[in-house]
Amino acid sequence: MGNDARLAVSTVIFTLREQSDVDKRAGVPALWTPFVLRTRDPYQDRWALPGGWLPDDEELEEAAARTLAETTGLHPSYMEQLYTFGRVDRSPTGRVISVVYWALVRGAEVEQAVPTENVRWYPADDLPELAFDHRQIVDYALTRLRTKVEYARIAHAFLGETFTLGQLRMVHEAVLGERVDPANFRRSALAEGDLEETGDYLAGTPHRPPKLYRYRADVDVQPGLTH
C-alpha cells in the first residue's frame, strides 16, 4: 500500500526591521518575511515561500535548509518544524504535503546572505498575493508567534538575554503590527510573573536609565525541541 502524494518542504523566515518613514507607523519595527517569485506554473509570477521537493535520501530539516539557502542565500543557525500542511486540494497539480520549518533571523544574518534573484522581503502585515495556501501558512506562523512562549523566544533572539520594557514592547508591537500603550504594557508585562529585574540599567543612558529585565529561568526561551 502507498499513495501518490508528493512531499515538499517550505520555510517561513521572520526578521525584525524598522518601518520606512513613509509608513504611518514609522519607528515601529515590523516582521518581514522573504518570498520567492515563481517562474513557472502553477501560480507563475506569484510569490511563494522558499522551499522545494523532498529528495528521498535527504532529511526533512536538511532539505528545508538547503532549499532556503538556494533560493534566498539565508543560512539560519537554527530552524524548527512549524507544522505540516496537507489539505487534499492545496495544489492544482495533485496532492502535495508540505512540511514547513520556520526560523527567526537577526538583521546581521540577512545582510550576510548572498543576494539571489527573484527574492523579495515583505512586511508580514502587507503581503502580496501568495501562491498555493502560503498565505494561510504565514498566518499560522504569525498566530504561533503571538503566544507567550514565542514572545520570550523572539525577545531572546532579537534582544539577547536582557532588555528594557521599552525594547520588549517594541517586539510585541512588531508581532502584533500595531502600537501598544506603554503604561498598559508595563503593567501587564510585570503582572505576568515571567520577568525579573537583573539589577542593572541600560548602558549609555545617563539620565534615568531604564531597568534591564530578563525572563525567569523557568520560561523556555531556548530554541525548541530537536530530533
Residue 41 within binding range of its own copies, rule CB under 8 A: no
Which lies closer to its own copies via its Cβ, residue 48 or residue 97? 97
Question: Which DSSP letter does residue 4 get?
Answer: -
Give the sign of the dihedral formed by CA 130, CA 170, CA 212, CA 143: negative
- Helix 148-159 and helix 134-145, axial crossing angle in degrees, nearest 10: 90
Give the residue carrying C-alpha cell 535520501. Answer: 57
Draw the binding track, 188-207, toward its own copies (x: CB under 8 A; -: no contact).
---xxxx-------------
**Phi-psi category of 201—alpha, beta or left, where left has phi over 0 and alpha has psi -120 to 50?**
beta
Which lies closer to its own copies via its Cβ, residue 8 or residue 105? 8
Least separation in angstroms between CB 163 and its own copies:
19
Residue 225 within binding range of its own copies, rule CB under 8 A: yes
Residue 2 within binding range of its own copies, rule CB under 8 A: yes
Determine if the peptide bond prior to 42 is cis (ω within 30°). yes
Residue 185 within binding range of its own copies, rule CB under 8 A: no
Residue 136 within binding range of its own copies, rule CB under 8 A: yes
The binder of its own copies chosen from 45, 53, 77, 209 (CB under 8 A): 53
Question: Which DSSP letter does residue 163 get?
Answer: B
- Strands 6-18 and 51-53 turn out to be antiparallel
Extract the C-alpha cell encoding 130.
501568495
Question: Interface residues for its own copies in 61-120 (CB under 8 A)?
Answer: 81, 83-88, 95, 97, 99
Catalog residues that contact its own copies under the rule CB under 8 A.
1-7, 53-60, 81, 83-88, 95, 97, 99, 136, 140, 143-144, 147-149, 191-194, 218-220, 225, 227
